Amino acid sequence: MTGEKDSAWHGTTILAVRKGKGVVIAGDGQVSLGDTVIKANACKVRRLGDGSVIGGFAGATADAFTLFERLEDKLEQYPTQLTRACVELAKDWRTDRFLRRLEAMMAVADKDVSLVLTGTGDVLEPEDGLIGIGSGGNYALAAARALIDQKGLDAEAIARRAMEIAASICVHTNANVIVESL
């Protein structure tokens, strides 16, 4: 992808960290349009459904909110079944003409599972409990992997430090981090 679409698609960092009994999703606050910072304190992470699911998005904001709403609908249909709700959303995402045009990715988690949802219909569960999406996602993911075995660091401490590292590398990521935890 090139041009403005590329900037919207990759202009954020979302990181999910699962360690011990804790899980967090962290997101930076920067909204970029090309090379310009439009907003520095956006909230790209939120609680979903009854509050037992947390999610973060990378991509076009309106598209992501549409997906959050659709996921909340699926969670109402399949309460306490995050994987099933995500698979059903992914089916809709691939087959619905409107949803197919949405440009966003989501990282979601509940007390049991962390998942990545993509516009190609993928619902992926990482084997190590770590997810990084967006332009700084790989930087944050690498930092989290390096920190995950550190004694004394819980999921939130790892996420905050990894996001700090990503913000120091990726120009589309800032240090205004929002963290939701379960």
Which residues are part of the catalytic machinery?
12
The amino acid that residue 115 corresponds to is L
* Residue 95 CB partners (closer than 8 Å, separation 6+): none
Which token pair is 96?
A: 């619905």
Task: Give how far the C-alpha of residue 42 lies from the chain's centroid of Cα atoms, to the nearest Å.
Answer: 14
Sign of CA dihedral 135, 142, 45, 115: positive
